[in-house]
Structure 1
């Protein structure tokens, strides 16, 4: 594994690369409060025939955390990714995104051709104006709270939200690793991520779904009813789509059952080559 940092469009973007030069290419984008470490276990179960990038998104991990929240906007992040891929001379890859990273992956696929799109517990955004405004306001309040009360207080709160209740079934050791990853974040990075790229401020892509011809695979957890319902709705609009609901897991399938998640990703990649 190579740990690399490159200056892209005025910010430092950090990523890890595995099996450089291997035949298949995959890019992994983590969720809010995550980092490249989100994917460590999944990567360990994938074959060395895959050339893989795990990227720290803006405001997270070892990537820059600008003070201007406008720099976190989805259009900026799409441009960052595209510039990175151009610099690495990467094309014809499969893009895997979890939650917030899935929103970015979908946004990227709406603009640029890729080989395949794997969305884990992801959403195309919100269409209803009132719903968007409410979400924007709640994200602003949460951003203020992070800056005012600090990271530890925020992580205590974040671990308790219903979305992550199923993670209480994990071993204490694994729960501690997840907590450490969240605590390694930065107040300004997380606050600006919410302000610049929260679900309430990003464009809605619902009306664009029928134009995304890239083979798209939706993965959701049975215990995550909200995102399973969203995936079933997305299936009606995406022209080239499959949906897999995984039993006994919640929002973060790759954390709760990394081996199974890796197997699904591997199967998807190998089927794309048939």
Structure 2
């Protein structure tokens, strides 16, 4: 594995690169409060015949954390990704996104060609205007909370939300690793990520799903009812789609059962199979 930082469109973007020169290429985009390291255990189960990029998104990990939240918008982040892929001369790759990273992956795939799209516990945003305004307001309040109360207080709040209840089944050691990754974040980076790229401010992609002709695979956890239902709704609109609901896991499948998630991703890429 190589840990690399490059300057793209005026910011430093950090990523980890594995198995350089392998024929099949995959890009991984993490969720809110995560980093490229969120994929570490999962990657250890993947075949070395796959070349991988795990990227720290803006405001997270070792990537830049600009003070201006406008630099975090989906339009800016899609432009960053595209410039990075051009810099690396990457094309014809599979794009995998988890939660927030899935929203970005879908946004990217709606503008640029990718070989496959794998969305883990993700959504196209909010279609209802009132719901978007309410979510924007709550994200603004959460951003203020991060800046006013500090990261440890926010992390304790965040890990206790219902979305992550299933992670209570994990070992204490694994839960501590997840907590440490969140605590390694940046207050301004996370606050601006919410303000610039929260679900309430990003454009809704529901009406554009029919245009995404890329083979798309929706992966959700059985214990994550909200996102399983969202995937079923998305399946009605995406023209080239499969959905797999995975037993005994919640929102973060790649964390809760990394070995199984690796098997599923390999089956998709090497066999085009999501059974």
Partner-residue secondary structure (3-state), 2:152: helix
Superposed, which structure 2 residues align to 1:114-263 within 5 Å?
A: 114-263=114-263
Measure, in 1, the Cα distance between the counterparts of 2:127 and 2:27.
28
Partner-residue secondary structure (3-state), 2:51: strand
CA displacement at 1:136 relative to structure 2: 0.0
Partner-residue secondary structure (3-state), 1:160: coil
Which residue does the alignment assign to 1:31? 31
Which residue does the alignment assign to 2:8? 8
Partner-residue secondary structure (3-state), 1:195: helix
The total of aligned residue pairs comes to 273
Q: Show structure 1 runs of 4+ deviating over 6 A.
A: none
- Per-residue displacement from partner, 1:152-189 (whole Å, max 9, x unpaired)? 00000001000000000000000000000000000000
CA displacement at 1:271 relative to structure 2: 2.0
Measure, in 2, the Cα distance between the counterparts of 1:175 and 1:126.
30
Partner-residue secondary structure (3-state), 1:176: helix
Measure, in 1, the Cα distance between the counterparts of 2:230 and 2:105.
16
Unaligned residue ranges in structure 2 (runs of 5+): none
Which residue does the alignment assign to 2:56? 56
CA displacement at 1:272 relative to structure 2: 4.0
Which residue does the alignment assign to 1:44? 44
Measure, in 1, the Cα distance between the counterparts of 2:203 and 2:21.
35
Partner-residue secondary structure (3-state), 1:66: coil
CA displacement at 1:262 relative to structure 2: 0.4
CA displacement at 1:150 relative to structure 2: 0.2
Which residue does the alignment assign to 1:84? 84
Measure, in 1, the Cα distance between the counterparts of 2:189 and 2:24.
32
TM-score, structure 2 length as denominator? Answer: 0.99
Measure, in 2, the Cα distance between the counterparts of 1:230 and 1:129.
17
Which residue does the alignment assign to 2:265? 265
Partner-residue secondary structure (3-state), 2:110: helix
TM-score, structure 1 length as denominator? Answer: 0.99
Unaligned residue ranges in structure 1 (runs of 5+): none
Measure, in 2, the Cα distance between the counterparts of 1:208 and 1:264.
27
Measure, in 2, the Cα distance between the counterparts of 1:179 and 1:113.
35
Measure, in 2, the Cα distance between the counterparts of 1:156 and 1:33.
12
Measure, in 2, the Cα distance between the counterparts of 1:175 and 1:37.
14
- Per-residue displacement from partner, 1:209-267 (whole Å, max 9, x unpaired)? 01100000000000000000000000000000000000111000000000000000000
